[in-house]
């Protein structure tokens, strides 16, 4: 039994052994993988928006809910936890057939209908057609080249508004104007201190609000081992604790994410900010404003007090603030100005560290083409493809 490998060739091409499956099988896998994961994300967002913290009590069949069914599946997957990646989001344990049942159910169709430009019967038929091809591939039955055309066409027909919804909620970059008369803006914008600040952003359709909490990372301790290598300890705002301890925010938000971390080493100090984004529907932030404000005020006070504490005692640890280590290396290359490369990977929070479905991992912006091109999905601890840049 000889399993031949693909070969990397010059120019970025790959030679696939002739005995491998026909190329259209891989195209089908790519489309269906992206289609199903986009549908999972969309169903979560809409259920979370409309059902709140009880979103996973939505029924997927008679007597079965998302919570009850996926709890069993997660436990079964953990029996073989040494295989693949550990994922805890219940949505990643639902298949396209079950997602179709949720979308088309009498109880929830009213929430999903605005995102489909067709009657429910047509939507269900097209989803079922995609599901038929998906099941053939998943159970290793042969598919036809024309099946690829069907799933492409049905995806385009079904997902125009779905993709727009996903782009809106993942690309919230418009600052709320400082003269905004929105009551929630006036209540939240002033919360903060020298260590923690808050900034509010609107989605283009103004249906979603992103609250960005920015923590100014303090340098606590520095150890110089040579002129080119430095160890240091800095303060870190723990995203895990933020989600676990502040129930009002966790129960009302859609998701939490971290911005990529970048740092400089200047005059013996690490210059860096940690930015944690919390995304709400505008409807939920209006209806739960006082609870959200209370949580944010408490977070602000705790961050200020605990930052002062660890600056005085590097071995201390608070509810939200902890000490983390890192290092900086002086890089010197011909014809390039020497620079310090700073490693602060310890401050990042992998999705595998947090069980709560509200944590999506690193924040990314998807201006267009979310469904067919995203390289990193929420809840997944690794990328699924290389990044494709538009230039």
Top pLDDT among 119 and 353 is at 119
Q: What is the pLDDT of residue 353?
A: 85
Top pLDDT among 58 and 227 is at 58
Q: What is the pLDDT of residue 368?
A: 72
Residue 61 confidence class, pLDDT cut points 50, 70, 90: confident
Q: What is the pLDDT of residue 147?
A: 96
Kindly give the pairing relationship between strand 255-258 and strand 359-362: parallel
Residues 79-88: b if buried by 16+ CB within 10 A, e if exposed = eeeeeeeebb
Return the ∠ at Cα 206 (arms to 203 and 211), rounded to 5°.
55
Tokens read off for 41:
């994300």
Tell me the average pLDDT of the chain. Answer: 92
Per-residue pLDDT of 354-390, as tens digits, reads: 889 999 998 876 667 888 888 889 999 888 888 776 5
pTM of the model: 0.93
Range with the lowest mean pLDDT among 8-22, 148-162, 360-374? 360-374
Per-residue pLDDT of 47-60, as tens digits, reads: 999 999 999 999 99
Tokens read off for 352:
């595998």
**CB 269 within 8 Å of CB 301:** no
Q: What is the pLDDT of residue 194?
A: 94
Tokens read off for 176:
């709320």
Q: What is the pLDDT of residue 301?
A: 97
Cα 347 to Cα 129, 144, 342: the distances in Å are 45, 48, 12
Alpha-carbon distance of 270 to 263, in angstroms, equals: 7
Q: What is the pLDDT of residue 224?
A: 83
Tokens read off for 39:
């549908």
pLDDT(391) > 80: no
pLDDT(198) > 60: yes
Top pLDDT among 372 and 299 is at 299
Q: What is the pLDDT of residue 105?
A: 95
Top pLDDT among 10 and 289 is at 289
Provide mean pLDDT across the span 274-301: 96
pLDDT(125) > 90: yes
Provide mean pLDDT across the span 258-283: 92
Q: What is the pLDDT of residue 87?
A: 87
Q: What is the pLDDT of residue 365?
A: 67
Q: What is the pLDDT of residue 390?
A: 56
Q: Cite the DSSP H helix spans in the chain.
A: 23-51, 66-78, 96-104, 109-112, 120-138, 145-170, 183-188, 239-245, 247-252, 282-287, 289-312, 370-373
Q: What is the pLDDT of residue 89?
A: 92
């Amino acid at each position: 039994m000889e399993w031949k490998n693909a070969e990397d060739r010059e120019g970025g091409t790959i030679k696939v052994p002739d005995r491998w499956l026909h190329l259209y099988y891989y195209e089908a896998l790519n489309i269906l993988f992206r289609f199903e994961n986009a549908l999972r994300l969309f169903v979560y967002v809409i259920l979370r928006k409309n059902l709140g913290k009880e979103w996973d009590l939505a029924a997927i069949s008679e007597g079965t809910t998302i919570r009850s069914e996926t709890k069993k599946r997660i436990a079964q997957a953990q029996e073989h936890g040494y295989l693949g990646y550990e994922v805890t989001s219940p949505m990643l344990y639902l298949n396209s057939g079950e997602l179709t049942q949720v979308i088309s159910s009498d109880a929830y169709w009213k929430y999903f209908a605005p995102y489909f430009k067709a009657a429910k019967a047509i939507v269900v038929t097209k989803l079922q057609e995609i599901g038929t091809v998906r099941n053939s591939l998943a159970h290793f039955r042969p598919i036809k080249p024309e099946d690829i055309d069907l799933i492409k066409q049905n995806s385009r027909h079904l997902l125009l508004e779905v993709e727009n919804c996903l782009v809106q909620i993942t690309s919230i970059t418009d600052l709320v104007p400082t003269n905004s008369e929105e009551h929630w803006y006036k209540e939240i914008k002033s919360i903060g201190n020298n260590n923690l600040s808050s900034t509010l952003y609107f989605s283009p359709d103004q249906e979603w609000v992103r609250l960005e909490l920015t923590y100014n990372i303090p340098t606590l301790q520095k150890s110089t081992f040579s002129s080119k290598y430095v160890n240091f300890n800095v303060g870190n705002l723990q995203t895990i604790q933020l989600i676990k301890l502040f129930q009002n925010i966790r129960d009302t938000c859609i998701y939490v994410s971290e911005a990529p971390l970048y740092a400089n080493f200047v005059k013996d100090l690490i210059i860096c900010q940690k930015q944690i984004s919390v995304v709400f529907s505008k409807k939920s932030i209006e209806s739960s404003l006082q609870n959200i404000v209370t949580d944010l005020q408490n977070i602000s006070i705790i961050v200020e007090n605990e930052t002062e504490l660890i600056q005085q005692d590097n071995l201390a640890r608070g509810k939200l603030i902890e000490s983390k280590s890192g290092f900086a290396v002086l890089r010197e290359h011909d014809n390039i100005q020497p620079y310090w490369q700073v490693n602060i990977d310890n401050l990042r929070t992998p999705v595998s560290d947090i069980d709560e479905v509200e944590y999506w991992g690193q924040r990314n912006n998807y201006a267009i083409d979310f469904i067919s091109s995203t390289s990193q999905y929420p809840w997944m601890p690794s990328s699924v493809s290389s990044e494709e840049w538009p230039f």
